[in-house]
Structure 1
Amino acid sequence: MTTTYTVKGMTCGHCVSSVTEEVGAVPGVTGAEVDLATGRLTVDSAGPIDDTAITAAVKEAGYDARSQQRGRP
């Protein structure tokens, strides 16, 4: 399953690394990819992931996230 989020406030590669690391540590997440230019975070998982857990992980990294869409792998 793939879910896309918009992340606000990232300005550099370190920001991307922080978000990727925090989101990657959420149980069930199998992959996380961040595009700095668009602010897009794409999260892959084997099953449904709680949006609250993802947004909390992004907040832990120092940014805000909002869910955009869900899709199948």
Structure 2
Amino acid sequence: MKKVICIEGMRCGHCTSNVDKALREIPGVSDVNVDLAAKTATVEAADSVSDDAFRKAVDDLGFEVTAIR
């Protein structure tokens, strides 16, 4: 499945790198593309990966997930 995660609080390349790394560490995630300008992360993952797993990974970094679609 493909999900787009809207994220507030990312301000630089270091932020996007941390989000990328955290999302890739979730079991079942196969690809991540973080876009600082759009404030999104596009994730390819197995259907078994829950939105809560994405939200927790981002929230644990101190950023805010505003939507997952």
TM-score computed with the length of structure 2 as normaliser: 0.90
Distance 1:49 1:66 in 2: 18
Alignment RMSD? 1.2
- Residue in 1 that maps onto 2:22: 22
Aligned residue identity for 2:57: A
Cα contact 1:34–1:40 (8 A) shared by 2: yes
- Residue in 1 that maps onto 2:11: 11
Deviations 1:17-40 (A, max 9, x none): 000000110111111111000101
Gaps in structure 2 of 5+ consecutive residues: none
Distance 2:2 2:35 in 1: 15
- Residue in 2 that maps onto 1:60: 60
SS of the residue corresponding to residue 20 of structure 1 reads helix
Cα contact 1:16–1:36 (8 A) shared by 2: yes
Distance 1:43 1:6 in 2: 11
Gaps in structure 1 of 5+ consecutive residues: none
Task: Among all aligned residue pairs of Structure 1 and Structure 2, give the percentage whose two residues are the same amino acid.
Answer: 35
TM-score computed with the length of structure 1 as normaliser: 0.85
Cα contact 1:51–1:67 (8 A) shared by 2: no
Distance 1:29 1:18 in 2: 15
Cα contact 1:22–1:60 (8 A) shared by 2: no
How many pairs were matched up? 69
